Structure 1
Amino acid sequence: MSTPPRIRPVRADDIPAITAIYGAQVSSSVATYEYDPPDAAEMQRRMQALLDQGYPYLVAELDGRVVGYAYASSYRARHAYRFTVENTVYVDADCHGQGVGALLLEALIEACTARGFRQMIAVIGEAANAASVRLHTRAGFRVVGTFQGIGRKHGRWLDTLQMQRALGDGDAGAPFDE
Structure 2
Amino acid sequence: MVTIRDARLADDGRLLEIYAPYVRETAISFETEVPELMEFRQRMEHVRRRYPYLVAEENGRVLGYAYAAAFHVRAAYDWAVETTIYVDKECRRGGIGRRLYEALEAALGTMGVLNLNACIAAPVDGAEDEYLTNDSEGFHARMGYTLVGRFHKCGYKFGRWYDMIWMEKMLGEHVEKPRPVQAYADVNFR
Of 38, 42, 53, 2:39 maps to 42
Of 58, 61, 66, 2:57 maps to 61
Partner SS, residue 125 of structure 1: strand
Match of 1:141 in 2: 145
Task: Please report the TM-score for the alignment, with normalisation by the length of structure 2.
Answer: 0.86
Distance in structure 2 (CA, Å) of the matches to 1:174 and 1:30: 40
Distance in structure 2 (CA, Å) of the matches to 1:100 and 1:173: 36
Mark the runs of 5 or more structure 1 residues left unpaired by the alignment: none
* Alignment-mate amino acid for residue 177 of structure 2: A
Match of 2:154 in 1: 150
More contact order relative to length (CA 8 Å, sep ≥ 6): 2
- Cα displacement string for residues 57-102 of structure 1 (whole angstroms, at most 9, x for unaligned residues): 0000012100100000011122221110000000001001111111
Once the two structures are TM-superposed, the CA of residue 112 in structure 1 deviates from its matched residue by: 0.8
Partner SS, residue 24 of structure 1: helix
- Cα displacement string for residues 34-63 of structure 1 (whole angstroms, at most 9, x for unaligned residues): 1110122111110011111x1110000012
Distance in structure 2 (CA, Å) of the matches to 1:98 and 1:163: 23
Distance in structure 1 (CA, Å) of the matches to 2:60 and 2:180: 39
Match of 2:121 in 1: 125
Do structure 1's residue 165 and structure 2's residue 162 form an aligned pair? no
RMSD (Å), alpha carbons: 1.4
Distance in structure 2 (CA, Å) of the matches to 1:156 and 1:168: 39
Match of 1:177 in 2: 180
Distance in structure 1 (CA, Å) of the matches to 2:121 and 2:151: 10
Q: Once the two structures are aligned, what percentage of the paired residues are identical?
A: 37
Match of 2:5 in 1: 8
Once the two structures are TM-superposed, the CA of residue 172 in structure 1 deviates from its matched residue by: 4.0
The answer as to whether partners of 2:15 and 2:64 remain within 8 angstroms in 1 is yes
Once the two structures are TM-superposed, the CA of residue 140 in structure 1 deviates from its matched residue by: 1.1
Match of 2:18 in 1: 21
Match of 1:78 in 2: 74
Of 15, 19, 28, 1:31 maps to 28
Partner SS, residue 11 of structure 2: helix
Partner SS, residue 47 of structure 1: helix
Once the two structures are TM-superposed, the CA of residue 149 in structure 1 deviates from its matched residue by: 0.6
Once the two structures are TM-superposed, the CA of residue 27 in structure 1 deviates from its matched residue by: 0.4
Mark the runs of 5 or more structure 2 residues left unpaired by the alignment: 127-132, 182-190
Distance in structure 2 (CA, Å) of the matches to 1:17 and 1:116: 30
Q: Which moved more, 1:123-132 or 1:83-92?
A: 123-132
Distance in structure 1 (CA, Å) of the matches to 2:62 and 2:39: 18
